[in-house]
Structure 1
């Protein structure tokens, strides 16, 4: 029954009007006030602890694998990597109701009245943070199935802006039929949104060279015959073309025009770039050489049936683990590889904060091996421990272990040795610190770790037996002073005299500034510098 507004006071009516005006009038709305509060949301500061026993290779570490709630990890990365990430790929829970989405340490089932609202609140918080990490040329890809596809599309519009929509790619992930349902589901979706569509353009993909050949031994190499006509009518491109072998005169098909002006056509004909079919008795076609096609590449189609299926992805992962099935829903490396080719350059930072089995890092390493790139990856995964499986650690035992095997080499299901692709990663764990306790509780190692990431230098191991921590090069040095002494003052003065930019982080920067006051030296106070950059909880 509708409310009887006649019984409301003026103040109550004003309150209702203000509440109504605050609500969006168009777009996605979910029951934020009715659902159980997400316990992962907090205002604590977040630090990272390094586990050298799980890390891979030797320091300095270029790549990161972070174990912890991705809400905490994303807030930390907002402090260290805001505006730096070129490509984000995530494969979040699909919210099928079949024990795939955990909210407040419990699986959300199909009968939960707030099932979709919980998922939307969970995703909104994380996508909002992710947007801050993207560079102005950055892009995010989010995979999903029919359960939340419609909701996710609206949510992505709300967070990133519908004008920044790039495409919805469809992956043909299943080739076999599902006989237990009346419609066999054979595809998933991957939404692609740019941080700023005006600044982003997908890369072209490598061509399929199987159609190119050289039947006439053209000295310019393999070629393919392209149509000479194009859509629509343009009167200046409607001239007749005579086949010199048969005398037959050709005009463009109805509603179409020739690709070139008559002058350009004559130039192409004299350059032996016009052919008239395999026998020389057909309509005109244009020679497109393989070398030209390779230079230009080809645009991506929205339907992807040229990458491996989900079944092949499972087999690929089992090969890495001696034939054992250790993860149910991996993505194939070829799928992520295609995304990276479309959206990254050789020096890009790639983030996956639903890292699962670690396919994204595998694809980054594989593409770097192919093109000599220096892409870096950041993976984030929780342990996925629950009351039923309190000792489960997906991040350590599956994600990091897979990446380690790809980097260092492994023995496949057949017992054959597979060479590693190389590389290293730091294995890190999130640690919450109440903001009021940061001054007392944050460790020097945690401070130094954050400062290195802020300054985009590879992570080194904290050294306890030195005066201060030092990183960078002759042009740009970074110093962290955990404890002030005369020896420290002398060393900072020496570094300042060498020239180049020097940034000094200290708990007592004023005292160092009194001794070293040079235009090439900047001073920042710890922990205030990090707390200020960290900010509060995403609202």
Structure 2
């Protein structure tokens, strides 16, 4: 079947491609080689190896610190943790052009007109990998300054289409004089991208205001106003009086916030009418039984002007004459709201981050609270005894973002870990609420020609967690986070049969099955890890003890891996065991 381009000459095809390249599109365009980018993801295989001497506390290790290029680490994590991370927080380099991060040595040049594109492509490749790690209710949070925010958001829209939630604004310092236009840039931002079912924690409804004084079988309830945010001018058909069927008193409608219901028989009535709600014992009348009555228009107007009439009655209302001679019910019309009907948090999370001691002035929102940049600097100095890392974010900022984004058993990732503030934030939350949140911190060495022995991951990221684990400071008394220290290695696919070790495979398989990591014992023919809900076996060479162990075992959630499954299977004749090939399984997941 002929294609639509088959009749075009080479010159016409070139012209068509050039026209496509010239065509503007809505959004951000940056210089990138899509073919090269796609090839880079699967250019080789990445493995992670445990460094026992740099790991902390005895195994099993629930938390990970990974040393290496975060592009490699993310490729490995996509193989092992896809769809399992609840919250990713990153504080990436801000593309200042200064040598404030290791990749400047290879990528950044202030005079390079492609500098922005290089930075965008650098982050784009990492965000597309990170996207695949998020759980279906997961969120990715990115810190950024005002200079790069617009570029980053547009690029992130490309990397994570349809996932944009919005952004937080937080105050980084108390205030400085602004250069040039005298504009003090005291704020930074945290932009948020979430999967379909993600919700920030908000604030739970105040259950103390729910009670059941009338023993309603539907349970505890509270009284809420029956009003909308529309005026009688905006929604004319929703402005009318209602009558209490019990007292026959008439109740006026608020002309500035009309009813959210209609009456039976009214044109356009859908859903529950006033009569429906009354019959279902949902309607409440505050001050029921109390009323006032005016026999003449003059008497009514005088009462309105003196403030003695019902506050919803105004002199300029078109239905003023209706109220003459009527028993006007005092109070307002309200509705029962049942605690059991609340499906969401009562107060949503605000996009403005407030200072730690700033008072609450808004009862309708819950605020993330954070210290300023100086808090991060002081915390680093307190833990290390000196400023071991520059520009660390305040722990309070990340702690409260993680609090709003996770539950007590969730997994948190930071692949620009730096000083591992995110790890401390997770430790603080767990100490506070008894949670079992886990973290994965990824950091490079940041070694350069000038500093070949520099290792930020080893000496700052991991060291911070080590010091917190061992600290005698009462502020860190309940902190505990055992971690495995991993180092990334690249292996050419054609060399996997020789260079991928059983220890490499064991780390990957444990991580794939959501098991804490344990050291691999090369002296054993097969290695076992039995978790609460899964049993994992890696067979290096067949041994009869494996048959003894398998007899009578429940096959559900039992996973057996072997380098040569066929050879092992012949020894297991008559046993219904699913044996999976190690190499093919890992490569398939890595390239998925």
TM-score, length-normalised on structure 1? 0.80
Answering whether residue 385 of structure 2 is matched by residue 387 of structure 1, we say: no
Structure 1: which 5+ residue stretches go unaligned? 1-8, 214-223, 242-248, 272-280
Deviates more, 1:430-439 or 1:462-471: 462-471
Answering whether residue 268 of structure 2 is matched by residue 269 of structure 1, we say: no
Answering whether residue 381 of structure 2 is matched by residue 325 of structure 1, we say: no
Q: Are the aligned partners of 1:102 and 1:108 in contact in 2 as well (CA < 8 Å)?
A: no
Answering whether residue 458 of structure 2 is matched by residue 396 of structure 1, we say: yes
1:521, CA displacement in angstroms?
1.4
Q: Are the aligned partners of 1:358 and 1:379 in contact in 2 as well (CA < 8 Å)?
A: yes
SS in 2 for 1:103: helix
Give 1:424's aligned residue: 482
Give 1:204's aligned residue: 202
How do 1:120-519 residues align onto structure 2 when only pairs under 5 Å count?
Answer: 120-161=120-161, 163-180=162-179, 182-195=182-195, 197=196, 199-205=197-203, 230-233=228-231, 252=254, 254=256, 267=284, 269=286, 296-305=345-354, 306-322=369-385, 324-411=386-473, 418-473=476-531, 476-482=534-540, 484-485=541-542, 488=543, 490-501=544-555, 502-517=558-573
Give 2:29's aligned residue: 29
1:448, CA displacement in angstroms?
0.9
Q: Are the aligned partners of 1:91 and 1:354 in contact in 2 as well (CA < 8 Å)?
A: yes
How do 1:11-50 residues align onto structure 2 when only pairs under 5 Å count?
Answer: 11-18=10-17, 20-21=19-20, 25-26=24-25, 27-33=27-33, 43-50=43-50
SS in 2 for 1:334: helix
Q: 1:38 to 1:53 in 2, by over 3 A?
A: farther
Deviations 1:408-459, CA, capped at 9 Å, x for gaps: 3255xxxx77424112111111011111111111222111111111111110
- For 1:394 and 1:206, the matched residues in 2 are separated by 40
- For 2:183 and 2:66, the matched residues in 1 are separated by 39
Give 1:81's aligned residue: 81
Structure 2: which 5+ residue stretches go unaligned? 1-7, 210-221, 244-250, 262-272, 289-309, 313-330, 355-368
Q: Are the aligned partners of 1:32 and 1:121 in contact in 2 as well (CA < 8 Å)?
A: yes
Deviations 1:310-368, CA, capped at 9 Å, x for gaps: 1222222222223x212221122221122222222222111111112111111112222
Q: Are the aligned partners of 2:420 and 2:462 in contact in 1 as well (CA < 8 Å)?
A: yes
- For 2:38 and 2:104, the matched residues in 1 are separated by 6
Q: Are the aligned partners of 1:476 and 1:500 in contact in 2 as well (CA < 8 Å)?
A: no
SS in 2 for 1:387: coil
How do 1:33-112 residues align onto structure 2 when only pairs under 5 Å count?
Answer: 33=33, 43-103=43-103, 105-106=105-106, 108-112=108-112
Q: Are the aligned partners of 2:536 and 2:559 in contact in 1 as well (CA < 8 Å)?
A: yes
Question: Higher strand share goes to which structure?
Answer: 1
Deviates more, 1:13-22 or 1:163-172: 13-22
- For 2:109 and 2:394, the matched residues in 1 are separated by 27
SS in 1 for 2:29: coil
Q: Are the aligned partners of 1:492 and 1:516 in contact in 2 as well (CA < 8 Å)?
A: no
Deviations 1:66-120, CA, capped at 9 Å, x for gaps: 0100000000011111111111111111112232354373462432211101001
Answering whether residue 591 of structure 2 is matched by residue 526 of structure 1, we say: no
SS in 2 for 1:527: helix
Q: 1:347 to 1:370 in 2, by over 3 A?
A: same
- For 1:130 and 1:24, the matched residues in 2 are separated by 30
Deviations 1:204-252, CA, capped at 9 Å, x for gaps: 236899xx99xxxxxxxxxx999886511466676599xxxxxxx9863
- For 1:431 and 1:24, the matched residues in 2 are separated by 42
Q: 1:56 to 1:144 in 2, by over 3 A?
A: same
Deviations 1:138-179, CA, capped at 9 Å, x for gaps: 221111112221111111111111x32111221222222235
Give the superposed CA RMSD: 4.0
TM-score, length-normalised on structure 2? 0.73
Q: Are the aligned partners of 1:66 and 1:381 in contact in 2 as well (CA < 8 Å)?
A: yes
Q: How many corresponding residue pairs? A: 492
SS in 2 for 1:46: strand
- For 1:39 and 1:145, the matched residues in 2 are separated by 31
Q: 1:297 to 1:104 in 2, by over 3 A?
A: same
Q: 1:194 to 1:38 in 2, by over 3 A?
A: closer
